Structure 1
Amino acid sequence: MKQSNPVAIGLRAKTARAIAVVIGGSAESPIVLAKEEIRLVDPKLPGTAQPYHEVMDLPWEESQRAVHKYVRAIQKVSSKELARLIKQITKDGATVTGAGIVGAKDRDLTRIGNNHIRAHAAEGVLFRSVLEFAANKNGLSRRTFSDRDFGSIIQAELGKKHSSLALKIEDLRRSVSPPWRTDEKQAALAAWLVLHGK
Structure 2
Amino acid sequence: MSVASSCAIHDFPKPGSHVMQPWENSKRSRQNWISASGWCETFRNRHLQYFLKGYQQKGFRIRRAALVVGSQIDPAKIANPHIRAHALEGQLFRSAMEQTLQDHKVRTDVLLERDAYSTVAARLRQSSHDVERAIQDFGRSAPAKRGPWRAEQKLAVLAALFALG
Output the TM-score relative to the length of structure 1: 0.66
Give the match for residue 144 of structure 1.
110
Q: Identify the match of residue 134 of structure 1 among 100, 107, 119.
A: 100
Q: Identify the match of residue 153 of structure 1 among 119, 131, 139.
A: 119
Cα deviation code 1:51-94 (max 9, x no counterpart): 3325x534xxxx6x665523531332232211111233334333
Give the match for residue 38 of structure 1.
12
Output the TM-score relative to the length of structure 2: 0.77
Q: Secondary structure at the match of 1:184?
A: helix
Figure out how many residues of one structure are paired with residues of the other and give that number: 161
Percentage identity across paired residues of the two chains: 27
* Kept after mapping to 1: 8 A contact 2:20/2:89: no
Give the match for residue 4 of structure 2.
21
Give the match for residue 49 of structure 1.
20
Cα deviation code 1:158-187 (max 9, x no counterpart): 333554343332222222313422211111
Answer yes or no: is 1:124 the counterpart of 2:90: yes
User: Which is strand-richer, 1 or 2?
Assistant: 1
Answer yes or no: is 1:169 the counterpart of 2:135: yes
Give the match for residue 160 of structure 2.
191
CA RMSD of aligned residues (A): 2.8
Give 1:96 deviation, angstroms: 1.6
Distance in 2 of aligned mates of 1:188 and 1:92: 21
Give 1:136 deviation, angstroms: 1.7
Distance in 2 of aligned mates of 1:115 and 1:125: 15
* Kept after mapping to 1: 8 A contact 2:19/2:32: no
- Segments of 5+ residues of structure 2 without an aligned counterpart are none
Answer yes or no: is 1:74 the counterpart of 2:39: yes
Distance in 2 of aligned mates of 1:38 and 1:117: 24
Q: Secondary structure at the match of 1:149?
A: helix
User: Which is helix-richer, 1 or 2?
Assistant: 2
Q: Secondary structure at the match of 1:145?
A: strand
